[in-house]
A = this chain, B = another copy of it.
């Protein structure tokens, strides 16, 4: 595919060093790796966290410190995002903001299910300041102003297939999900219920507020956050580029240009209409969209596969629409450039350093690194 070939680093172009042996320069630091048991030390100028965005609700009445469990006259702060950040020595100009997907949280960027380094640390080593967030009503940002019943239904096998680790209980042959019971269990234990209703406006507003606070940066989204990420990008000009890893929903198109809905055995995927003026914001920043392997080209009744057939197809139309309006969007279907076996979780797959190399190459090519 022409676009992908232009924007992507050939799979065989460089050897992917192990995450543990990549030093600050992005090059293998053999001496450090040897001295510290395979880990080159990380040098961090600053790390911390904060809440951003959100709302406040108030119960009418007067607060009585003699009866403090009465909600009258009291407030509740909720619906914010929570951010963890690390800034390396001599950071690059633009930080990365990493936004997790459905049933996930910021910690998914930290470590892979088999204990390797995730994008948070990999890109820190490459001298990016890295901000990982928990979106409102998830994880450490769980304080919602609208209560819900937490989901405790059994669903591991559903998501195992949906995330294309394989077809339960098997892994895809040649797939990039780490083998073994322990990695599987760690993955399942990274899943989280919502603590309140998902509200796209609340989500996009919180991430827009984050960029208002930290200034210009690069937004990296995964899956469910893909669509909310377009919303945030249309809201806030401080988002200077978007890297979307397997966006799963919320593909926007200019009014009058929305493609036909796409039925699949996992449900029907519909594009969303936005005013052309808003859509044009997406033509003003470089955008790259990555999808992994084992996505069927023909309909199938295995829902966890068919889901991605229509998403990849809709993403192609989305990228075409941006470029038709003068933008700079690229879709990289990884198998087409020789990178095979990737699951829905590109950033924690066995070859996540190779995926990071693709992103580094893209950002470098666009003058953003």
Interface residues of A (CB under 8 A from B): 36, 39, 41-51, 54, 57-59, 63, 65-69, 71, 73-78, 80, 82, 84, 89, 105-107, 110-111, 115, 117-118, 121, 134, 138-140, 142-158, 161-162, 167-168, 185-186, 188-193, 195-196, 265, 301-304
Contacts and interface: CB of A to CB of B under 8 A. Distances in A.
A189 B47 contact: no
Contacts of A110: 47-49, 84
Contact of A89 (B41, B117, B188): B41
B39 A41 contact: no
A77 B152 CA distance: 9
A146 B82 CA distance: 25
Given A49-B107, A59-B154, A65-B161, 13 more contacts: A41-B43, A48-B115, A50-B186, A51-B190, A65-B157, A68-B304, A69-B158, A71-B154, A74-B155, A74-B158, A77-B185, A139-B140, A142-B193
A157 B74 contact: yes
A142 B143 contact: no
Contacts of A191: 77, 143
A239 to B, nearest CB: 23
B140 A189 contact: no
Contacts of A151: 147
A117 B41 CA distance: 21
Given A140-B192, A168-B65, A154 B76 contact: yes
Contacts of A71: 153-155
A298 to B, nearest CB: 16
Pairs A-B, 4 closest by C-beta atoms: A51-B189, A68-B158, A74-B154, A77-B188
A161 B57 contact: no
A54 B156 CA distance: 15
A157 to B, nearest CB: 4
Contact of A186 (B51, B76, B84, B190): B51
A211 B148 CA distance: 34
A63 to B, nearest CB: 4
Contacts of A139: 139-140, 142
A50 B111 CA distance: 8
B49 A39 contact: no
A54 B49 CA distance: 27
Contacts of A146: 152
Nearest to A47: B121
A76 B155 contact: yes
A191 B111 CA distance: 25
A54 B161 CA distance: 23
A58 B154 contact: yes
A65 B303 contact: yes
Of listed A74, A140, A188, residue having the most chain B CB within 10 A: A140
Given A43-B41, A50-B186, A74-B156, A148 B149 contact: yes
B192 A150 contact: no
Nearest to A58: B154
B157 A73 contact: yes
Nearest to A161: B65
Of listed A80, A150, A157, residue having the most chain B CB within 10 A: A150
A168 B77 CA distance: 16
Nearest to A145: B152
A161 B68 CA distance: 9
